[in-house]
Structure 1
Amino acid sequence: MGAPRLLAGLDQAPRLDRVAHLTTHGQLPRYRPDELVDLAENIDLRGRGGAGFPFARKLRAVMRASEGRDTGTAVVVNASEGEPSCLKDKALLLHVPHLVLDGALLAAAAVGADDVVIGVTRPDVEQSLRAAVAERGPAGRQVRVQALPERFVTGESTSMVNGLNGGPTLPSGQKIRTSERGLGGMPTLFSNTETYAQLAVAARLGALDYRSVGLPSEPGTVMLTIAGSTVVEAPLGTSLAYVLELCGLDPGQGVLVGGYHGKWLDPGSARIADLSRGSLAAFDAVLGAGAVLPLPHDTCPAGEVAKVTRWMADETAGQCGPCFRGLPALADVVEDAVRGGGRSALETIEARMKVVRRRGACSHPDGTAAFVASALAAFPDEFRDHALGSGCGRRVVGALPLPKDETPEERLLVDWTLCRGHGLCVDILPDVVRLDADGYPSQASMPVPAQLRQKAQRAVRRCPALALRIQD
């Protein structure tokens, strides 16, 4: 979308090695610490991992925290994307890894850090980065690549730092700023992949040329993941509808902006919104990690939201009540409403959201509750119709992407030679078993979701005719 910056050179090669990178971008200029802070401030560089915190303030905070201390400083690159709707950082790390390394090493020089540590969760990303570090020869010895568990909460700053320090990759639950105490207890500059890549581009262009693209108030480009599959680089201020059109899409029933902790825009709002903080703020939305998910007309909004809510509940860190108990309970009641749980189910959703808000050890409970609240506001008729039993008649096509379940599927099998139609199985497992007109199970083999396995085992034990069994 216009001349590429972060993705420059990829029309010539699928991955820029060190030589191709230097041919495309040139040598990295040197900056004094104050010059780099001024550059980041001049272009209003902000974190591209979700929070949008000003990068210049992060630099200053680490510099201040290191004054008078002999512990040294560190730089951490958050190269994890635990949300399946986001691919932009993976694209950078797989195709232009040296741009990310340039930005991280530039920042390390500014804050006086001896170490740059990159936390990764994907084997292909780890391999690409290790190859890039090796291509730099002795200059790459300052960089360490460390694999961490692939989970939604891995990218939270205290969670990643804990993992890099050798502990569990879980949020600390304490209000600890990594700029004061991070890697090895040192003041640590923590930011995500795209942020460092943008810094490397800005360092080469200078503030004036960097600001030639985008908006005066929000210069530069932004990386986006469209519909969970297409990665684009667009100038800030570009029309959201135009980006979707170039990707062969339209707003459909609505557009989720900012990923699974984001906000739903109705089709009308999506057609007039621009890709900028100012424009999206008018709709109480943010770009977050750059995920843009249009919901096509042929899928069930309530069913899509229920599946994501369950996945978010399963991604709990398990450290606090709102996350460990509150989110699974919220997922239960959302699924209950989608299955026809009545008005009481819709009312219970509101109650469950109140229980988890502003009480978690990290932002995961708040973000998940906000996702559900936004969906209820965007699709009130869909949720009401489902709760009251009529539903929408559409299947769930997976427009909101989730990881593939690697768990072997279990099925509930019926032995017709033994079944006598007692019907206890449908009383215990109404979400799995359906009866035909004669009162017998309508299928001989039925998939059992993982969360219903215990109920399926109970149905097997309770069957008077011993006609049921579970098979992997």
Structure 2
Amino acid sequence: MTNAEPMINLGCHGPARLLAGVREYGRLDRWAQQKVYGEPQPLPLPDLIDLAEQVRLGGRGGAGFPFARKLAAVAKSAGRRRLPSVVVVNGTEGEPAACKDKMLLSMVPHLVLDGALLAAGALRASRLVIAIADDGFAEESLLDALDERRDIALPTRVMLVPHRFLSGEAGALVRGINGEAHIPPGKKVRASDTGVQGLPTLVSNAETYAQLAVAAAIGPWDYTALGTEDEPGTVLLTVTGAARRPGVIETPTGTPLKEILRVCGAPTGQGVLTGGYHGTWITPEAAGQAEISRRGFEDVGGSLGAGIIVPLPDDTCALGEVARVMHYLAAESAGQCGPCRLGMPEMARLLNGILGGGTSPEAVRAVTAAMRGRGACSHPDGSSRFVLSALDVFDEDVAAHLYHRGCGRPVRGVLPVPDAPDEAGAGQLSVDWSSCDGHGLCAHILPELIRLDDNGFPAIPNGAVPSWLEAQARRAVDMCPAMALRLGAPGH
């Protein structure tokens, strides 16, 4: 049995539901799980659907789709087609700024399993698949939990998936389980109709199943005693960024966001990212008014999404942080449609242009307008939402780059971006000013990164060259008539 715990801070602001027992026991093994939550009792499908409706359980992976409707859709499809169903636990958590599902699988794996087995039993599912990222964070705990539950009659498989942004998209996940390329299918396919091996499939994230297990353990009356009337219960938040005490915190819905930021030692700084890289930025003033729920965030222009909260500190370049993430998102696309293959790289290029002072924000808005609703999956629209909200919230930073040659702050890499193209690219451009004669050819070859100043000499933004611009950057270096343009390691 493993005693390892994740290297993150855990906390509760209010009564603990999902984290009940963690302070006392640490990771809950099977014995501790039963002591805290009791032995789960199977529920017939109508009763489980009724329970999910009474507690208004929405998916906690980002979209918030009503779990009862999803459960009913799978049951209806399986009955109509006379096929068995499959239950999938989505614990992949491809969002770089999130770790709540990893925490659940690490600390309370039996709670997630209880919820998944409740759903599988009600649906009379033929198998259970638990998908987690291949970073090793939660795998040992989950395998230990399954080893403790050898009495599970349902065939159960743990699947490791690539740690990529789109790995958790339902269509990509189903394709990966089926042995196909782990990318979205390129067209709308409902897993409830055609999922794993073509069978009706229930796909929900780890927190959703854990919430279902809590509701079954304490009943709808006690469950709805916390939180708001429309969105009762608690929610898990991953708080990072400017927080002095970053981590995962559980709190009832309706809690003021400023209270959570205070508990985590997080000033609002320049603004707060809500909902992750498909979410939206809100101003410090909006953060002071927001209440934690889907409706509460929407009222101030934010997004609860997967429960990601990232306040941006004052000592980093806001626009540079956004551009850095956009490079990553463009590289993470499946490249199956025009918005992903052309639009998202163009957005990244244009953000670089704003950083260099040579591109108007309206050019970015025009690209996002052309992309809207045309993607094969939600990635282009979600990324556009992230960028457009940043242009609004950080308008002063945008103006500083356009009219004052920069904001004067470095890009500190506050927003987590694993293996980002701009960090894993070809290196950083520099100019040997003793040789440069101001021919301007480099700006013609590489307009995404190089512009000419008022005297006709190249102005190059700080930061590494994204991998998708590497070929053009090397061409610009090779064609410089004065051999003054260099491409080397960042910082050199």
TM-score (norm 2): 0.87
1:274 equivalent to 2:291? Answer yes
* Residue 72 of structure 1, aligned match among 68, 84, 90: 84
Q: Distance in 1 between matches of 2:87 and 2:308?
A: 25
Q: What's the CA shift for 1:351?
A: 1.3
CA distance in 2, matches of 1:64, 1:103: 20
**Aligned match of 2:60:** 48
- Cα distance in 2, alignment partners of residues 346 and 421 from structure 1: 30
| Whole-Å separation in 2 of the counterparts to 1:24 and 1:173 | 44
For residue 469 of structure 1, report the CA deviation from its aligned partner: 7.1
Write the distance in 2 (CA, Å) between the matches of 1:99 and 1:200. 6
Q: Which residue of 2 aligns with 1:156?
A: 169
Where structure 1 has 5 or more consecutive residues not aligned to the other structure, the ranges are none
Q: 5 Å matches for 1:57-456?
A: 57-124=69-136, 125-139=138-152, 142-227=155-240, 229-342=246-359, 345-405=360-420, 407=424, 410=427, 420-422=435-437, 448-456=465-473
1:413: Cα distance to partner?
8.8
- 1:25 is aligned to 37
Structure 1 residue 326, shift from structure 2 partner: 0.8
- 406-415 vs 142-151, which moves further: 406-415
Q: 1:449 to 1:210 in 2, by over 3 A?
A: same
**Which runs of 5 or more structure 2 residues have no equivalent in the other structure?**
1-12
The corresponding residue for 2:3 is none
Deviation of the 1:131 alpha carbon: 2.2
The 3-state SS of whatever aligns with 1:12 is: helix
d(CA) in 2 for partners of 1:270, 1:95 = 30
In structure 2, give the amino acid aligned to 1:45.
L
**Distance in 1 between residues matched to 2:304 and 2:152, nearest whole Å:** 35
Q: Check conservation: 1:432, 1:447, Cα contact below 8 A.
A: no
Amino acid at match of 1:56: A
Distance 1:284 1:294 in 2: 15
Q: Which amino acid aligns with 1:377?
A: D
Distance 2:130 2:167 in 1: 13
Q: CA RMSD in A?
A: 3.0
Q: After superposing the two structures, state which structure 1 stretch, 34-43 or 299-308, moved more.
A: 299-308
Q: 1:441 to 1:349 in 2, by over 3 A?
A: closer
Match of 2:18 in 1: 6
| 2: CA distance, partners of 1:95 / 1:348 | 46
* Change in 2 beyond 3 A, CA 1:172/1:100: same
Helix, strand or coil: the match of 2:24? Answer: coil
- Residues 441 and 45 from structure 1, CA distance in 2 versus in 1: closer, same or farther, beyond 3 angstroms? closer
1:250-297 deviation per Cα after TM superposition (whole angstroms, max 9, x unaligned): 222221111111122211111111102332232243311000111112
Letter in 2 for 1:379: F
- For residues 286 and 73 of structure 1, do their structure 2 counterparts lie closer, same or farther at Cα, with a shift above 3 Å needed? same
CA distance in 1, matches of 2:221, 2:323: 47
Which residue is equivalent to 2:5?
none
> How far apart in 1 are the matches of 2:356 and 2:457?
21
Asked whether the equivalents of residues 128 and 154 of structure 2 are also in contact (C-alpha less than 8 Å), the reply is: no
Amino acid at match of 1:154: S
Secondary structure in structure 2 of the residue aligned to 1:189: strand
* CA 1:172–1:447: 2 relative to 1, 3 Å: closer
User: How high is the TM-score relative to the length of structure 1?
Assistant: 0.90
The question of whether the paired residues in 2 share the 8 Å contact of 1:339 and 1:389 is answered with no
Identity over the aligned pairs, expressed in percent? 48
**CA distance in 2 between partners of 1:209 and 1:415 (Å):** 69
* Number of aligned residue pairs: 466
* 1:26 to 1:368, Cα distance in 2 relative to 1, 3 A: same
In 2, the alpha carbon distance for the partners of 1:201 and 1:314 equals: 38
Q: By how many angstroms is 1:311 displaced?
A: 1.2
